[in-house]
Amino acid sequence: MSSNSPLAEIPVVLLAGGLGTRLSEETATKPKPMVEIGGRPILWHIMKIYSWHGARHFIVACGYKAEVIKEYFRSYPVNNSDWTINLGTGEVETLASESPDWVVGVRDTGLHTLTGGRLGRLRNELKSTFMLTYGDGVGDVDIARLLAFHRSHGKLATLTLVRPPSRFGSVVLDGTHVVEFAEKAPVSEGWINGGFFVFEPGITDYIQGDMVSLEANVLTRVAADGQLQAFQHGGFWQPMDTLREKHFLESLWEKGTAPWKLWD
């Protein structure tokens, strides 16, 4: 995407501080956003979705095992490039690099801080329109359209509504004959919060302290004030809350059918 993209100067906040207890098989040694899909942390996949639309400024709000995320980004240029080092002088010559043109801020926002509180801790860095999403869900959301929608209504906040994925395969029957089977089909009715928010900086006025939930406290009050709009996304969306969901995302990636992979 061109640097002229309207997203080029908009910061994207990634909530990456939770304990990830429902994925404890993976999160004993790392925070959930660092659980890998196709050899890359799901956090990287989410950032790639945004960057494909032109975003390049990211702020990762860490908590649980923040040091793992800090070390990942600190070492990223070294681990994703070929280089030669002069051991006598310490001079490093980079020969080829696969590092994206991202500016990444990593902030430790506290071990037990809730989602709203993590955002509140970043208020001094968020002085204009910004985006925010969870560090454990992917989708083929049209981020540019989302931003345009947000700017069109002039309200304080926009959330992306998604169709919740079914926990199990769906089956259509004619008597005992299976007419159609679809693994992990989205639920056809109802919408849920899928993250992928756009906020104005005034959203932080609703946050007092660390123990404030973005969902239960902040967005509830913003909606009551008539300042919350919904962007409906009918395409693919999938969180990674369980090992089953992790394996599902991994299978899509391995088969080359990952819908969120908008980039080549």
CATH of the domain at 53: 3.90.550.10
Residue 263 lies in a domain: no
pLDDT of residue 164: 82
pLDDT of residue 179: 47
Residue 88 lies in a domain: yes
Q: Which residues, listed in sequence order, are joined to residue 210 by a DSSP beta bridge?
A: none
Q: How many CA atoms lie within 13 A of 252 on its CB side?
A: 18
Residue 57 lies in a domain: yes
Q: Is 24 exposed, middle or buried (0-12, 13-18, 19+ CB in 10 A)?
A: exposed
Residue 242 lies in a domain: yes
Distances (CA, A) of 247 to 27, 144, 242, 243, 251: 15, 29, 9, 6, 6
pLDDT per position as a tens digit, 25-34 = 888 899 999 9
pLDDT per position as a tens digit, 207-228 = 999 999 999 999 999 999 999 9
pLDDT of residue 13: 98
pLDDT per position as a tens digit, 144-154 = 999 999 999 99
Residue 51 lies in a domain: yes
pLDDT of residue 180: 55
Mean pLDDT of the chain: 90
pLDDT of residue 264: 74
The whole domain housing 240 covers 11-254
Residue 74 lies in a domain: yes
Residue 25 lies in a domain: yes
Query: What confidence tier does 197 reach under pLDDT thresholds 50, 70, 90?
Result: very high
Residue 4 lies in a domain: no
Q: Are 139 and 236 in contact (CB under 8 A)?
A: yes
Domain count, the chain: 1
Q: Degrees (nearest 5) of the Cα angle 107, 17, 146? A: 85
The residues near 207 (Cβ < 8 Å, ≥ 6 apart) are 116, 117, 119, 120, 123, 218
